[in-house]
Amino acid sequence: MDLQAPLTELTGVGPRQAERLARLGLHVCGDLLFHLPLRFEDRTRITPLDRLRPGRAALFEGVVERSEVVIRRRRMLVVTLGDGQGVITLRFFHFGNAQQKRLASGTRVRAFGEPRGVPGALECVHPETEIVDPDAPPALEQRLTPVYPVTEGVSQPLLRKLVRQALLGIRQLPDLLPELEREGLPPLQQAVQDLHQPPPNAQAPALEPGIDGRSAAQTRLALEELVAHQLARLQHARAEPDEHAPALDPPGDLWEHLHAGLPFPLTGAQQRVIGEIRADLARQQPMNRLLQGDVGSGKTLVAVAAALAAVEAGYQVAFMAPTELLARQHARNLAAWLEPMGIPIAWLGGRQARGERGQLLNELASGDRPVAVGTHALFQEDVRFHRLGLAVVDEQHRFGVHQRMALREKGNGGTPHQLIMTATPIPRTLAMTLYAGLETSIIDERPPGRTPVRTALISHERRDEVIERIRVACGDGTQAYWVCPLVEDSEQLEAESAEATRERLAEALPGLRIGLAHGRMKGSERDQVMEGFRRGEIDLLVATTVIEVGVDVPNASLMVIENAERMGLSQLHQLRGRVGRGNAASACVLLYRPPLGETARERLEAMRRTDDGFEIAEVDLKLRGPGELLGTRQTGDRSFRVADWSRDQDLLPRATRIAEGLLQDPPRGGALIDRWLGDATRYGQVG
């Protein structure tokens, strides 16, 4: 089988399926080899019901003791399963008559899912189920089952089948970095094989959901991917000198006008950074500046100052955020600041009526709308600007380097200046390697008058006390967040678990107005909930990590984060940044499931000790010293396929060195970039 063979050559893939697979970045058979499992499930054995542990996905079996339809806020099918040693409750929110009949009393059922709750009273929301004939029980899996990133219309079983075909068919995978073997890393072919199909006796590769060890095979691929990215960046940086940007150096009246009307003074750091940016914008060389500032440090206003300079100079601004939620919030803030000054904003979202979008596109192309705010929708080909002078990209690590480059293409004559904002603090040493070619500005001061967030670590077994605390706080007019655990590969499961949590909290807290926000809701629906929360019509917001970035509700001063031990430090820090935005003393409760490993405890302790993002980033780096088999995938970070922003930072210096060497070897470098950023190169003309 050829690496470059189209996916339609595989059994089970027609043109429509191929289209869906393309959404996962899968275009040719070779791509499948680099589409690695997020984690593995162990279906090689059945766990007795009394041995199930909350938060640990398992295969289990029992006889249905009771099966009934219960109506709370919504209808659900509740099934009690017993095996003589223990019991577990299964809950289904989506079910039909057939499902109900299938799970009738007395039936033997094998199920796979993640139990929740406390030992002795476990439940499982929407497990996979299989009816078992006691005389002929189905065979168990021989190997660990990979769980791949999927998308709508592409199922796990299908992906498993396709990857198996590709692994069998492709026998010659060109090793572009054979020198890594001298460093004790496995050859590429073997690394790929091991990552998809770990040998049956492999040391638990990533069995803990969300927490991956980094095996030699993972290191091999992560390193290669980082080399490809670094190489692309280096080439990009080298290509720069002959590029021109418009010099944006207006008197600054627009900004002065806005500044004079602000209800608060700027911090010293904001003023300094605005100065740095203005100086860059005034030059004919494109600005490439990274603005780092902890959550709540006031980056948006700095970006607005830059935007107003561009607008006053007669140019347009594109303002981009990684999620619809965040982009909308920016749009709202920008509109509130700029529209009273007669500067209309164009909002470009993912879901937008064709006519409305067309109208806005026209106004951008003619220059009638000076400012566009949106998500990835702004990268799309049909978006044209009259004179784009500045691109502001929020939370950059979620966008690949290539997407930024795609924007450059929209300059129409010149390269737009770029301001990249991130609230993910990056230790200085790393920032230098990672952002070769970017200038850095740091807001190292927070607006005054904020009380630090008190953080507590509380075992899941004391959940009731935490619920009581919410009752009291909300009774006093405070608003609170309840953040549900991460289910990495399945937005669907995550949403269902969030719904189940909402049900339980609603039972425990009958007086409160409880809202729900998760990634499976329609954007408009979720916005409505967020809007209700912002207006104070919702006391408690149960949410998945969709609220991670940027949401600003000052009256919310209590946050509970479930399964905090599963999340990355920077993600926890981001989440916690949602509280402590107003004047009230705020608190954050990190609920964890004991027992905590030593490193996990140290990480959570760091969260308790400090809320300085840079310090947290340093701790994160230190705790993941070489050889440490620990790391947490940052959800939403889809800029890498294998490498992990947080887990693999220690590989960066090495990757950069190798990339520098490859600058001298264009054919090999090109092949490497094509392998890892192939999609991107087609999209944004990298290199």
Report which secondary-structure segment, H or E, holds 81: strand 75-82
Residue from 206, 301, 466, 604 touching ligand ADP (CB under 6 A): that is 301
Residue from 322, 550, 582, 687 touching Mg ion (CB under 5 A): that is 550
Report the residue count for the chain.
687
Q: For residue 202, give both structure tokens.
A: 């492999």
Contact 192, 633 (CB under 8 A): no
101 φ, ψ to 5°?
-70, -40
266 binds ligand ADP per the rule CB under 6 A: yes
Residue from 54, 82, 169, 447 touching ligand ADP (CB under 6 A): that is 447
491-550 residues near ligand ADP, rule: CB under 6 A: none
Contact 127, 496 (CB under 8 A): no
Which residue, judged by CB position, is nearest to ligand ADP in the bound state? Answer: 298
115-144 residues near ligand ADP, rule: CB under 6 A: none
Look at residue 162 and give the partner it binds from ligand ADP, Mg ion, none, a contact being a CB closer than 5 to 8 Å depending on partner kind.
none
Give the binding range for ligand ADP (CB under 6 A) out of 14-22, 238-246, 259-267, 373-381.
259-267
Each as own residue / partner, the long-range contacts of residues 180-186 (CB below 8 Å, 24 or more positions apart, any chain) are 180/220, 180/223, 180/224, 184/216, 185/216, 185/219, 185/220, 185/223, 186/216, 186/217, 186/220
Give the binding range for Mg ion (CB under 5 A) out of 170-178, 396-404, 519-527, 550-558.
550-558
Look at residue 296 and give the partner it binds from ligand ADP, Mg ion, none, a contact being a CB closer than 5 to 8 Å depending on partner kind.
ligand ADP
Q: Which is nearer to ligand ADP, 398 or 402 (CB)?
A: 398
As a dihedral over the C-alpha atoms of residue 662, residue 663, residue 666, residue 672, rounded to 10 degrees, the angle is 50
556 φ, ψ to 5°?
-85, 115
Q: Which is nearer to Mg ion, 211 or 295 (CB)?
A: 295
Residue from 88, 124, 234, 295 touching ligand ADP (CB under 6 A): that is 295
CA separation for the pair 160, 148 (Å, rounded) = 8
To the nearest whole angstrom, how small is the minimum distance from the Cβ of residue 348 to Mg ion? 19
643 binds ligand ADP per the rule CB under 6 A: no
Look at residue 298 and give the partner it binds from ligand ADP, Mg ion, none, a contact being a CB closer than 5 to 8 Å depending on partner kind.
ligand ADP
Residue from 258, 423, 572, 643 touching ligand ADP (CB under 6 A): that is 423
Give the binding range for Mg ion (CB under 5 A) out of 93-101, 128-136, 548-556, 661-669.
548-556
293 binds ligand ADP per the rule CB under 6 A: yes
298 binds ligand ADP per the rule CB under 6 A: yes
Look at residue 656 and give the partner it binds from Mg ion, ligand ADP, none, a contact being a CB closer than 5 to 8 Å depending on partner kind.
none
Give the binding range for ligand ADP (CB under 6 A) out of 261-269, 335-343, 365-373, 667-675.
261-269
What do you get for the CA distance between the two ends of the chain, in Å? 29
To the nearest whole angstrom, how small is the minimum distance from the Cβ of residue 530 to ligand ADP? 15
391 φ, ψ to 5°?
-115, 130
Number of C-beta neighbours around residue 315 at 10 A: 26
Q: Which is nearer to Mg ion, 62 or 550 (CB)?
A: 550
Q: How many CA atoms lie within 13 A of 382 on its CB side?
A: 10
To the nearest whole angstrom, how small is the minimum distance from the Cβ of residue 395 to ligand ADP? 9
CA separation for the pair 446, 268 (Å, rounded) = 9
523 φ, ψ to 5°?
-55, -45
Contact 308, 258 (CB under 8 A): yes
Q: Which is nearer to Mg ion, 117 or 322 (CB)?
A: 322
Q: Which is nearer to Mg ion, 301 or 346 (CB)?
A: 301
Look at residue 113 and give the partner it binds from Mg ion, ligand ADP, none, a contact being a CB closer than 5 to 8 Å depending on partner kind.
none
Single out the residue of 389, 441, 443 nearest to residue 418, CA to CA. 389
Residue from 218, 219, 292, 297 touching ligand ADP (CB under 6 A): that is 297
Contact 517, 547 (CB under 8 A): yes
As a dihedral over the C-alpha atoms of residue 661, residue 662, residue 665, residue 670, rounded to 10 degrees, the angle is -170
299 binds ligand ADP per the rule CB under 6 A: yes
Give the binding range for ligand ADP (CB under 6 A) out of 55-63, 125-133, 293-301, 557-565.
293-301
CA separation for the pair 538, 513 (Å, rounded) = 5
Single out the residue of 528, 522, 503 nearest to residue 514, CA to CA. 503
To the nearest whole angstrom, how small is the minimum distance from the Cβ of residue 402 to Mg ion? 23
255 φ, ψ to 5°?
-65, -40
CA separation for the pair 547, 560 (Å, rounded) = 13
Give the binding range for Mg ion (CB under 5 A) out of 32-40, 117-125, 549-557, 600-608.
549-557
Residue from 165, 300, 563, 574 touching ligand ADP (CB under 6 A): that is 300
Three-state SS string across 521-543, please?
A: CCHHHHHHHHHHHHCCCCCEEEE
Q: Which is nearer to Mg ion, 296 or 515 (CB)?
A: 296
To the nearest whole angstrom, how small is the minimum distance from the Cβ of residue 394 to ligand ADP? 8
Q: For residue 191, give both structure tokens.
A: 């690394």
Give the binding range for Mg ion (CB under 5 A) out of 7-15, 449-457, 516-524, 545-553.
545-553
What does the binding site for ligand ADP look like in residue numbers (CB under 6 A)?
264, 266-267, 270, 293, 295-301, 423, 447, 552
What does the binding site for Mg ion look like in residue numbers (CB under 5 A)?
550
